[in-house]
């Protein structure tokens, strides 16, 4: 059931380690509005966004914007599922606008992995069926305003956007996407991980991620997709935030499902919050990396913050991350929550409505 008890909610769906986010809010026009971000793998569309979109339509509402952070299958797959969904007839009125970056060349999806009926590609379909106000989305793009919700683009930089366009144009032509697999550090102890030097993610596609600062009244949240932390630090600095003037947040989503290469100490020092969301399930690509979580706990210890880690999944791999660390509870103040898919499992609800709408 679509929530109508709070003025804004952020729902992180369990899509097997991918990103699938629904922002729902009561706009300045006194109507309910819906923003989707990514959607996870194509196979998860039927479990998450398909019933959500149909419920939105049944309530005589629509999706104002569907933001596709970047073209990785754990983010974009559900969009392809939406394009193939024959039960949603009038798609341009179901989703009013897609916000995404694509190559200037047609992106052909390998049929053995993801099939789009009649060979229609995502880029071609959206270009044919939708009007996009911006030819590209990057840190030079003006903030997106939706009835009281402001979305400020923190990533990608124009340079990283262009690099990713060139990379995807070449790789999709050959039907090959070369990416490195992640190795697990879950068997390592806190002592082995806590003093390791930070090395930033160099993946150009991850660096092209659309990361946003969502603001609704006093509510602020960082939704970081797979972005590079140095870009987020630069964007926050441009907004006049720093380690001595950190941005107050309701919560922050850890980039790249909690990868060790996407959450830096520098970025953590620029935010003021106790709430952190992790969309990894501990299985796919072994994210979150334990090293990233230890870095987060060390940040909390240094700044006397009780860290709250909110997982969008519930797996044994996540619950056992600190199983070998007998000292974890005595050394760090933190708590964890695990969520299963379902509308009753809103992770974050803000500004309870006291009057009838």
347 vs 357, higher pLDDT: 347
With contact defined as beta carbons under 8 Å apart, do 18 and 279 qualify? yes
Statement: residue 35 has pLDDT above 70 = yes
Specify the 3-state DSSP secondary structure of 345.
helix
Statement: residue 73 has pLDDT above 80 = no
- Superfamily for domain range 6-352: Ribonuclease Z/Hydroxyacylglutathione hydrolase-like (3.60.15.10)
Statement: residue 323 has pLDDT above 50 = yes
Choose among 161, 92, 167, 171: nearest CA to 127. Answer: 92
Q: pLDDT value at position 163?
A: 84
Q: pLDDT value at position 178?
A: 45
H helices within the chain, ranges in order?
49-58, 73-84, 91-94, 122-129, 158-173, 190-193, 204-207, 229-238, 265-269, 290-302, 316-319, 328-331
Statement: residue 187 has pLDDT above 90 = yes
Mean pLDDT score of the chain = 86
160 vs 15, higher pLDDT: 160
Across 48-74, average pLDDT: 91
Q: pLDDT value at position 237?
A: 99
With contact defined as beta carbons under 8 Å apart, do 81 and 45 qualify? yes
Q: Which of 99-103, 146-150, 297-301 has the lowest mean pLDDT?
A: 99-103
As given in the structure block, the two tokens for residue 250 are 């309701």
Distance CA 350, CA 48 (A): 22
Statement: residue 176 has pLDDT above 50 = no
Q: pLDDT value at position 111?
A: 41
Total length of the chain: 357
Across 172-200, average pLDDT: 77
What is the chain's percent helix, strand, coil content, to nearest 5? 30, 20, 50
Specify the 3-state DSSP secondary structure of 47.
coil
With contact defined as beta carbons under 8 Å apart, do 308 and 277 qualify? no
Statement: residue 355 has pLDDT above 60 = yes
Number of H helices, E strands in the chain: 12, 16
Statement: residue 116 has pLDDT above 60 = no
110 vs 40, higher pLDDT: 40
pTM: 0.90
Q: pLDDT value at position 76?
A: 77
Distance CA 20, CA 9 (A): 14
* Interstrand relation of 65-67 and 98-99 (parallel, antiparallel or unpaired): parallel
Q: pLDDT value at position 1?
A: 82
Statement: residue 295 has pLDDT above 70 = yes
DSSP 43: G
Across 181-191, average pLDDT: 86
Statement: residue 141 has pLDDT above 70 = yes
- Maximum average pLDDT range among 159-163, 322-326, 335-339: 322-326
Statement: residue 89 has pLDDT above 70 = yes
46 vs 247, higher pLDDT: 247
As given in the structure block, the two tokens for residue 254 are 């850890």
Q: pLDDT value at position 168?
A: 61
Statement: residue 12 has pLDDT above 80 = yes
Statement: residue 177 has pLDDT above 60 = no
| Tens digit of each residue's pLDDT (9 = 90 or more) over 13-29 | 988 888 999 999 999 99
Chain centre to alpha carbon of residue 304 = 27
Q: Which of 73-77, 175-179, 328-332 has the lowest mean pLDDT?
A: 175-179
Confidence of residue 103 (pLDDT cuts 50, 70, 90): low
Distance CA 227, CA 9 (A): 23
247 vs 97, higher pLDDT: 247
Residue ranges per domain, the chain? 6-352
Q: pLDDT value at position 123?
A: 67
Q: Which of 126-135, 149-158, 180-189 has the lowest mean pLDDT?
A: 126-135
| Tens digit of each residue's pLDDT (9 = 90 or more) over 222-280 | 999 999 999 999 999 999 999 999 999 999 999 999 999 999 999 999 999 999 999 98
């Amino acid at each position: 059931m679509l929530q109508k008890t709070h003025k804004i909610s952020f729902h992180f769906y369990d899509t097997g380690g991918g990103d699938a986010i629904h922002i729902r809010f009561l706009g300045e026009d006194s109507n309910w509005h819906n923003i989707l971000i990514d959607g996870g793998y194509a196979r998860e569309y039927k479990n998450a966004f398909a019933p959500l979109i149909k419920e939105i339509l049944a309530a005589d509402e629509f999706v104002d914007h569907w933001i596709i952070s970047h073209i990785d299958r754990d983010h974009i797959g559900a969009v392809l599922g939406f394009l193939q969904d024959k039960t949603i007839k009038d798609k341009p009125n179901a989703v009013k606008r897609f916000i995404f970056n694509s190559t200037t060349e047609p992106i052909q999806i390998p049929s053995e992995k993801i099939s789009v009926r009649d060979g229609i590609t995502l880029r071609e379909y959206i270009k044919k069926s939708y009007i996009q106000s911006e030819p590209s989305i990057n840190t030079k793009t003006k903030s997106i305003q939706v009835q009281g919700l402001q979305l400020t683009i923190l990533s990608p930089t124009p340079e990283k956007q262009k690099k990713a366009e060139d990379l995807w144009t070449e790789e999709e032509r050959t039907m090959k996407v070369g990416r490195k697999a992640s190795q697990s550090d879950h068997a390592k102890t806190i002592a082995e991980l806590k003093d390791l030097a930070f090395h930033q993610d160099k993946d150009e596609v991850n660096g092209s991620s659309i990361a946003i600062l969502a603001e609704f009244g006093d509510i602020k949240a960082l939704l970081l997709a797979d972005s590079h932390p140095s870009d987020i630090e630069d964007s926050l600095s441009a907004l006049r935030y720093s380690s001595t003037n950190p941005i107050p947040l309701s919560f922050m989503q850890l980039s790249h499902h909690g990868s060790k290469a996407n959450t830096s100490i520098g970025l953590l020092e620029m935010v003021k919050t106790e709430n952190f969301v992790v969309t990894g399930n501990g299985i796919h690509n072994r994210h979150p990396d334990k090293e990233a979580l230890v870095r987060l706990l060390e940040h909390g210890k240094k700044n006397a913050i009780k860290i709250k880690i909110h997982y969008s999944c519930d797996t044994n791999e996540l619950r056992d991350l600190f199983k070998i660390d007998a000292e974890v509870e005595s050394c760090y103040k933190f708590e964890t929550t695990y969520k299963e898919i379902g509308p009753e499992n809103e992770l974050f609800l803000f500004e309870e409505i006291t009057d009838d709408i």
